[in-house]
Amino acid sequence: ITGELRRSAGMEGLRPAAVIAPGVLGQTGIEVLELLTALCGRLRPAAVVVVDAMASRRLSRLGCTVQISDAGISPGAGVGNNRPAINQKRLGVPVLSLGVPTVVEAATLARDLAGEDDAAERAVSPRGERMIVTPREIDLLIDRASRLLALSLNHALQPDFDPVELLSLC
């Protein structure tokens, strides 16, 4: 991505960076780990940054928390759809993961609202199946989180540029 910006926008000072939006297995038929392994083998990056939505254990954290970790990420783990972990051991380069909670289990929501009452938890999962809840304003939440993460990543990757220049990249 930075190679094209260097050429087209005359931003010669940009440090090299690339981006992909791999989708999910159900859409692409490809595990994200397989795609990243192939790309890392071809591009040989110094590090990989992965960004994903997360499930929260507290309603109050939805859309207003960012989790940052150097341990990688296990896509789908928060909603019971475990995919292979994306981490340094598997990719051979450091992996920084960023996650924003965008969903909560209905049982968690019931506990937050009714206290530690097992009856409330059973009421929202009568057959024992997990129900995942997202806020009505999810589009706004995603828009704000993506802008925050984009600006933060651009600032971390391009420290020689001021915030106004970086905003023009988002």
> Does residue 51 have a pLDDT over 90?
yes
**3-class state of residue 10 by DSSP:** coil
pTM over 0.95: no
CA distance 107 to 130: 8
What integer pLDDT is reported at residue 162 of this predicted model? 85
Single out the residue of 65, 152, 69, 72 nearest to residue 103, CA to CA.
65
Amino acid identity of 78?
G
Provide mean pLDDT across the span 53-81.
84
Q: What are phi and psi of 132, to 5 degrees?
A: -105, 135
Q: Please determine, for residue 78, whether its predicted confidence score (pLDDT) is greater than 70.
A: no
HSE toward the beta carbon, residue 73, CA cutoff 13 A: 24
Largest CA distance in the chain: 62
Which amino acid, residue 124?
Answer: V
Per residue in 97-148, pLDDT (tens digit) is 999 999 988 887 777 777 766 666 667 666 767 788 898 999 999 999 999 9
